[in-house]
Amino acid sequence: MSTTPILTSPILLIEDEPSVTAFLRAALERRGYSVEDAASGAEGLEKLGGREYSGVISDIRMPGSVNGAEVHAWIQQNRPDLCTRIILISGDTANSDTQMLLKQSGTPCIEKPFRVQQLLTMVEKTFGKP
Amino acid sequence: MPRATAKSSTRLARKRANKPAPARPVLHAADELMELAVDAAHSRNLPAFLERFAQRATRMLDARWGGVMVFRGRETDLYQAGADAVDLQPSHQATLIRIGRDARRKSETLPVSFDSPLTAVGDKDGQFAEVTFVPITASDEESLGCLCLIRGRGTPSQDERHLLHALASHAALSLENFRRFSQLERSKRQWVEDIDAISDYIVVHDRSFRIVRTNRSLASYLGVPPVALVGDPMSSLRQIAETRSELPCPFCRDTQQAREEYIVASPERIFLVSTSRTPGVSDDDTRTIHVLKDMTDRREAERRYRELFDSIQEGLFFATPEGRFLDVNDAMVRMLGYDSREELLRADVSTHLYPVVAERERFFSALSKRGVLRNYEETLRRKDGTLLHTLQNITAVRDAAGKIIQIRGLMLDVTEQRTFQSQLQRERDFNQKILNTTQSMILVLDTAGLISYANRRAFESGYLEHELIGHRLVDWVEAGQREDFEAALETTAHGHQVENIELRVRRSDASMGHFSISLSPMRDEQGAVNSVVVVMTDITDAVLLQAKLAHSEKMATIGRLVSGVAHEVNNPLAAILGFTDLLLENPAIPANAREDLEIILHETQRTKDIVQDLLSFARQRPVQRELVHVNAVLRQTIKLRSYDFASHGVEVLEEFDENLAHALGDGQQLQQVFLNILNNAYDAVQEVGQRGRIAIRTSQQGSNIEVAITDNGTGVTDTERIFDPFYTTKQAAKGTGLGLSICYGIVRAHGGEILCRNNENAPGSTFIVRVPVATEAATAAAIAKEAGR
């Protein structure tokens, strides 16, 4: 665990639900991660083009033109460095499209609602410790 | 030459009279003879003339008595003069006549011996003994009579004998003339009578159109004696019949023609006028004879016949044996579709009217054989080519040799009846087929509700004839619904249709079926309802199917709803759960607040479970198609709960069909189904408190694999609603009410079915899951897929 490099760049949080964003930011910041958030997929992609991030946490189902699956696809195409540094959040993993995406990409996914510990474990495992 | 002889005799008498006569009677005789000739020429009354003749002869020959005998066959008429002078008794007359009849040849004066003496009147002494007889002989020597004189003074002188001959010649001439005249009169009278006996009207007119004669018929028609018309102008007969003749005679047309014949008609009468003109010696003699034959009755009969012939609705015809119509009536023309009688008369029967010429030959030979054909059926062809079905009555008219010379017939158009009949037959067949092949039971009830007819389907359904016919249909209806049926029957009896009432009716195997029933009234000729047609359709299966469809539709809708709700709930839930966690991590939180937070945490967890269930229920995860060994899935499932079962004393009985075929489906999902049912069964037997027992039986039922899971628990309150989402009988916090709904969705997705029923005569309930057996093709495909993986 100590070998995991200290993250210098913030984690990008893409989530349309403000209360969920607030909880995630609180949980992550309390553990020492720096967090930047985007309220939609489109905003997320804009931010991704602007600076470095140590990882991306994105909700799958979001209103607007860009959803989580598309964010995921964009990263695969344009940010190979972040390819393995994505965590998806889903309110409905039973959705067949979601299942297909997760199965094909092997991207880790955390299902709402989740415990803080579940989140931190997955973040540490995927992005490393802060 | 009787006339010449007589004349010469007269001349002779005259010559003698002109001679210087020695005796007065002779000179007197010449005048007398001249007067006699004049008298004879003018006299029309023979007896009076003969009496005068007798007087004259008596006077001329100075006789006391004179008589003229006229022979008429055996009879003799006697005309006499001088009866005042001679006392001539009948016996004397008889004697004279006998002698007179013998005196044939010449005159003679004979002594006559009478039976009693013949004396002069008033003088009994002087007797007459000699009588002079002079025969009167016709020119043809026929003895006509005899002149007889009684003189009482000896034999006549030479001059007197000449005079007697002259007188006899005059008498002969007169008698002959009278006889001819009376013959003429008689024949003329006879002719008039004959003419009068003719009922036709006869009128003769002269050149100046004056009536010369009419017969009695004509006169009596006009109400006058025949003679009254003579001399009237012919124009007075216009009242008989108004003709358009411009001549003074209404019946003359062309006076130059010797003969004319034509028909004249008045409003009342019709006459055939036959006219003959006889040219006379002079123009004045020209006679025109009109004979008017009253044709009215004949024409009327003919007109009536023609009218009947033409107005009758049946076709009538006269035809030659060769096949030409001589006459046809209008109906016949119409029937055969010709434009006119003339057109039909031109048609050749064999080729124009018979679709097959041989048929006409068949007809003719049948007629030749029998002479009369009654109700002979024949199909003819109309002018436009369409077929005409006819019924004919035919009579052959034969000549003396027996050869058919004419065919007379009456023809009925039975096309419509024929068409109607065949239509009726078709309709009847059609109805019969419907009645016999329909999947509905069709019954006919009388107004009392007794069954009088049942179609084939009713008997195929298992009902026996003696169970139905004559029995009340209402007795088959479920007791609780009989009033409904009676009400419907009553409504129908009042003439109203009752459609699709649904009633439970006892089937022939005593099971109750769900029937859709329609009742229709049937009316008699007066329009009164005399029976009711009942159409009954067993819709038990349809009702079940419909219920299932409605249920699956409901489930799908709920699924979509739940999916949306669950997703929306998860976001706030994530925040609640997350912040609660964060709060609990804070060591500064006091202990009592921490307890509250724990409760929030717990309840949030519970909410999460519920939402998870909802999502499971609603998820549209496609069924994995792979070969599934149902027994194996069941064993695995049982193993999951075996610890609980064993520790709570629940006995699990496995009655598996070890030869069970594979099912095609999703093993994991099926396991979820079985687990859910087992959990329910476990809960149910736990509740009862006695030794629980769960029996699991597998078998193959047709193309399905059937799993029956029977428990001896509490049983199910509502077996129909148990698969509805959120339906639960478990205490709060123990179940979401979605488990069996999820099972339902899974089994349906497998193309199978799941159902629940309470055990008969035993506590507890049984869940049955049926999934289809994998077909050979599906099995092969699945194996291939397995191999390729």
Q: Which residues contact B696 (CB under 8 A, 6 or more apart)?
A: B634, B638, B652, B653, B654, B655, B656, B707, B708, B709, B710
Q: Residue B607: closest CA among chain A residues belongs to which residue?
A: A113
Residue B579 CA to its chain's centroid (Å): 102
Tell me what pLDDT residue B212 has.
87
Dump pLDDT digits (tens) for B534-587.
999 888 888 777 777 777 777 677 777 777 777 788 889 999 999 999 999 889
Which of A99, A103, A112 best tests the B interface by mutation, with the highest count of B CBs <10 A?
Answer: A112
pLDDT at B5 over 60: no
Tell me what pLDDT residue B18 has.
44
Among candidates A17, A27, A99 on the partner chain, residue whose Cβ is nearest the Cβ of B582: A27
Mean pLDDT of chain A: 87
Which of B576, B580, B581, B623 best tests the A interface by mutation, with the highest count of A CBs <10 A?
Answer: B581
Higher pLDDT, B105 or B502: B502
Q: What is the mean pLDDT of residues B642-663?
A: 88
Q: Which of B232, B283, B214, B297 is CA-nearest to residue B255?
A: B283
Tell me what pLDDT residue B2 has.
36
Dump pLDDT digits (tens) for B219-271.
888 888 878 888 888 888 888 877 777 888 888 888 888 888 888 877 777 88
Q: What is the mean pLDDT of residues B406-423?
A: 87
Dump pLDDT digits (tens) for B180-192.
888 888 888 888 8
Instruction: Locate B135 and state its tokens.
Output: 């025969």
Query: pLDDT > 70: what percent of chain B?
Result: 91
Among candidates A17, A30, A92 on the partner chain, residue whose Cβ is nearest the Cβ of B615: A92
State the complex-level ipTM: 0.88
Mean pLDDT of chain B: 83
Dump pLDDT digits (tens) for B742-765.
888 888 888 889 999 999 888 899
Higher pLDDT, B122 or B750: B750
Sign of CA dihedral B316, B320, B323, B326: negative
String of DSSP letters for B36-94: HHHHHHH---HHHHHHHHHHHHHHHTT-SEEEEEEEETTEEEEEEE-TTTB---HHHHH
Among candidates B563, B577, B618 on the partner chain, residue whose Cβ is nearest the Cβ of A113: B577
Q: Which of A8, A19, A76 is CA-nearest to residue A45?
A: A76
Task: Report the distance separating Cα B208 and Cα B226, nearest Å.
Answer: 19
Instruction: Locate B417 and state its tokens.
Output: 């009846």
Distance (Å) from the alpha carbon of B637 to chain A's nearest alpha carbon: 23
B19 pLDDT band, cuts 50/70/90, is very low
**Is A115 in Cβ contact with B581 (below 8 Å)?**
yes
Helices marked H in A2-115 — which ranges?
Answer: 18-30, 41-50, 68-78, 96-105
Q: Is B722 exposed, middle or buried (0-12, 13-18, 19+ CB in 10 A)?
A: buried
Tell me what pLDDT residue B8 has.
32
Dump pLDDT digits (tens) for B358-414.
888 888 999 999 989 998 988 899 999 888 999 999 999 888 888 898 999 999 988
pLDDT at B20 over 50: no
Contact B450, B470 (CB under 8 A): yes
Dump pLDDT digits (tens) for B492-543.
988 888 888 889 999 888 888 889 999 999 988 888 888 999 999 888 888 7
Dump pLDDT digits (tens) for A70-104.
999 999 998 888 889 999 998 877 677 788 888 88
Dump pLDDT digits (tens) for B699-711.
998 889 999 999 9
Q: Which residues contact B553 (CB under 8 A, 6 or more apart)?
A: none
**Is B563 in Cβ contact with A113 (below 8 Å)?**
no
pLDDT at B143 over 90: no
* Choice among A14-18, B274-278, B735-739 with the minimum mean pLDDT: B735-739
Is the CB of residue B561 less than 8 Å away from at least one CB of chain A?
A: no
Is the CB of residue B620 less than 8 Å away from at least one CB of chain A?
A: yes
pLDDT at A2 over 50: no
**Is B571 in Cβ contact with A27 (below 8 Å)?**
no
Span between the terminal Cα atoms of chain A, in Å = 11
Instruction: Locate B642 and state its tokens.
Output: 């075996």
Among candidates B568, B571, B581 on the partner chain, residue whose Cβ is nearest the Cβ of A20: B571
B9 pLDDT band, cuts 50/70/90, is very low
Contact B446, B424 (CB under 8 A): no
Among candidates B582, B608, B616 on the partner chain, residue whose Cβ is nearest the Cβ of A113: B608
Is the CB of residue B563 less than 8 Å away from at least one CB of chain A?
A: yes
Task: Report the distance separating Cα B24 and Cα B29, nearest Å.
Answer: 8
Q: What is the mean pLDDT of residues B271-292?
A: 81
pLDDT at A27 over 90: yes
Q: What is the mean pLDDT of residues B138-167?
A: 84
pLDDT at B21 over 60: no
